[in-house]
Amino acid sequence: MTRFLTPWLARLRARYQASRLPRFLAWWTGELRALLPRRWQAALRVQRAQVLLRAEADGVVLELDEGGPRRALGRLGLAPSPSLAEFAERLGAELLRLPRVLLLPPTAVLRRRLVLPAAAAGEVAALVAHEIDRQTPFRAEQVWADHRLLPGPPGARQVTAELAVVPRERLDAELARLGELAGELDAVDVADAEGRRLGFNLLPASRRRPRDHRPLLINLGLVSFSLIMLVTAMAGLVENRRQAVAAVEAEVEARRAEARRTTELRKELEEAARAANFLAEHKATHPSLIALLRDLTDLLPDDTFLERLTITGNDISLVVQSGSAARLVELFQSSPRFAEPTLLGAVQPDTRTGKDRASFTVKAVVPRPEAGP
């Protein structure tokens, strides 16, 4: 896995360094930092600052580089050699944790630019190591070398790398002048015309100051713990929302079932009410047969009898024989129990009984119930 990931990460790092993204991020973070309170800005400057050492003829100059104008920290004498105690006294406890970089003069370092295919961006270190013999008058085992990728146009098919080499004897001589400070360096770089570091590290990895990785591990642990807690909180929030939605859906379903049951009960109640009121409505809208027969008996004269009586709802059909059949229409009209008497056909005399035979239709009038108190 390491053999597979190392070239890929190196290629990704090379593409990132060759792009314009680092300069944009530097500008963007600077603008964001300018919006913070001054105390926070000072704390961030200290975190990204570094201590620069320049060996001169009469001593070692110490400067603090915070990304802006450098601030002088003092000078250490070379005779007999700079001591760690004096160095720590010059820096103070707060600056001792900062990276320490020895700046070599431009004349001590040989620099060459190489144009490489963009596909080989992940193998720049190996390609540069092979180019030392061709681009410099030294062999690879005679120098300490490092490289950096220069920014180029986006989408370019080539990348530009800058090679920097310093003879081992020259670097050993510079480190020997520092005495005990040589073992406390994090990097050896070359200064540009304005005295700023270019971004190389010519110091062998075996001679660099041991880094305390505990703060990094603690920060990584805190970040991992924060991410785990964030994911756990988000999962808990999602689960709570899911349970709340499930509870609401269950309550809605229960209300729907209750509404359906209420509708069914209302239908059953209406059907029961219609069934219970059927007889009362029928009685209120239809005449009583006994009362109807009684009214007909009271209305018809004694010389009249019924041959046939048909009652359909409120409609009554009669076939009678009477001594005065024509007067029956007047009797029905004068009665409040009957209405719309109609004589069907002509009155026919019956020789067998000596009476007139006639057919009538009449409507029975149902009396309205009196209103209660």
Is the per-residue pLDDT at 153 higher than 60? yes
Mean pLDDT of the 265-277 span: 86
Comparing 264 with 306, which gets the higher pLDDT? 264
Q: Is residue 324 part of a domain?
A: yes
Task: Report yes or no on 370 lying in a domain.
Answer: no
Can you give the pLDDT at residue 278?
72
Query: 116 with 248, same domain?
Result: no
- For residue 319, is it within any domain? yes
**Which tokens hold the place of 221?**
């642990």
**Tokens found for residue 348:** 């026919």
Both 31 and 169 in a single domain?
yes
* pLDDT value at residue 129: 81
| Whether 52 contacts 41, CB under 8 Å | no
With respect to residue 46, please indicate whether it lies within any of the assigned structural domains: yes
Task: Spell out the residues 6+ positions from residue 42 whose beta carbon is closer than 8 angstroms to its own.
Answer: none
138 and 199 together in one domain: yes
Q: What pLDDT, on the 0 to 100 scale, is given for residue 288?
A: 72
Q: Does a structural domain hold residue 23?
A: yes
> Which residue, 210, 245, 260, sits at the end of a domain?
210
Residues 247 and 329 in one domain: no
- Asked if 112 and 135 touch (Cβ cutoff 8 Å), the reply is yes
**H helix count then E strand count, the chain:** 9, 12
Taking the C-alpha atoms of residue 19 and residue 12, their distance in angstroms, rounded to an integer, is 11
Reply yes or no on whether the pLDDT at 65 is more than 80.
yes
Of the two residues 88 and 147, the one the predictor is more confident about is: 147
What's the helix, strand, coil split of the chain in %, to 5? 50, 25, 25
The angle, 0 to 180 degrees and rounded to 10, between the axes of the packed helices 21-34 and 2-18 is: 70
Across the chain, what does the average pLDDT equal?
Answer: 80
- How far apart CA 7 and CA 15 sit, in angstroms, is 12
| Element (DSSP H or E) covering residue 320 | strand 315-322
> For residue 117, what are the β-bridge partners?
158
Segment 43-66 mean pLDDT: 76
pLDDT in tens, 190-248: 888 777 888 888 888 888 887 766 777 888 889 899 999 999 999 999 999 999 999 99
Report the CATH number at residue 305: 3.30.1360.100
**Residue scoring higher pLDDT (110 or 30):** 110
- pLDDT-derived band at 371 (thresholds 50, 70, 90) equals very low
> Does residue 262 share a domain with residue 128?
no
Q: Are 12 and 20 in contact (CB under 8 A)?
A: no
**What average pLDDT does this structure show over 321-328?**
76
In-domain check, residue 102: yes
Overall average pLDDT of the 96-100 stretch: 82
Q: Is the pLDDT of residue 2 over 60?
A: no
Q: What is the pLDDT of residue 95?
A: 79
- Count how many domains the chain has: 3
Reported residue count of the chain is 373
Complete DSSP assignment for 225-245: HHHHHHHHHHHHHHHHHHHHH
pLDDT of residue 240: 93
How far is residue 223 from each of residues 218, 232, 233, 256, measured CA to CA in Å? 9, 14, 15, 48
Same domain for 191 and 331, yes or no, is: no
CATH number at residue 123: 3.30.420.380
Q: Specify whether the CB–CB gap between 163 and 180 falls below 8 A.
A: no
pLDDT at position 252? 94
pLDDT band of 286, cuts 50, 70, 90: low
In a domain, 371, yes or no: no
Residue 1: helix, strand or coil by DSSP? coil
pLDDT at 9: 66
Q: Decide: helix, strand or coil at residue 185.
A: coil
- At 231 the pLDDT is 93
Collapsing DSSP states into helix, strand and coil, what is residue 160? strand
Last residue of a domain, one of 285, 304, 332: 285
Q: Give yes or no for residue 6 having a pLDDT over 70.
A: no
| Spatial distance between the Cα atoms of 9 and 121, rounded to a whole number of angstroms | 10
Q: How far apart are CA 244 and CA 115, in angstroms?
A: 62
- Tell me the C-alpha distance between 356 and 329, whole Å: 14
Going by DSSP bridges, is the β-strand pair 100-104/338-350 parallel, antiparallel, or unpaired? Answer: unpaired
- Measured torsion, CA atoms of residues 223, 229, 231, 236, in degrees rounded to the nearest 10: -170
Is the residue at 373 inside a domain?
Answer: no
Structural domain ending residue among the three candidates 210, 229, 247: 210
Domain of 86, in residue numbers:
2-210
* pLDDT value at residue 122: 65
Q: Does position 23 have pLDDT exceeding 60, yes or no?
A: yes
Same domain, 327 and 230: no
DSSP codes of every residue in 68-128: SS-EEEEEE--SS---HHHHHHHH-TTTTTS-EEEEEPGGG-EEEEEEEEGGGGGGHHHHH
What's the whole-number mean pLDDT along residues 96-120?
83
> In the predicted model, is pLDDT for residue 83 greater than 70?
yes
Q: Which of 34-38, 41-45, 259-263, 276-280 has the lowest mean pLDDT?
A: 41-45
Please tell me whether residues 202 and 251 are part of one structural domain.
Answer: no
For CA atoms 277, 278, 283, 288, the dihedral sign is: negative
Is omega for the bond preceding 105 within 30 degrees of 0, making it cis?
no
**In angstroms, rounded to a whole number, what is the distance separating the alpha carbons of residues 208 and 184?**
7
CA separation for the pair 215, 278 (Å, rounded): 92
The answer to whether residues 252 and 174 belong to one domain is no
- Same domain for 175 and 141: yes
**How far is Cα 119 from Cα 370, in angstroms, rounded to an integer?**
109
85 and 15 inside one domain: yes
Q: Residue 46: pLDDT above 60?
A: no
Residues 11 and 149 grouped into a single domain: yes
pLDDT exceeds cutoff 60 at 372: no
Q: Mind listing the pLDDT tens digit for each residue in 297-323?
A: 878 887 788 888 888 877 888 888 877
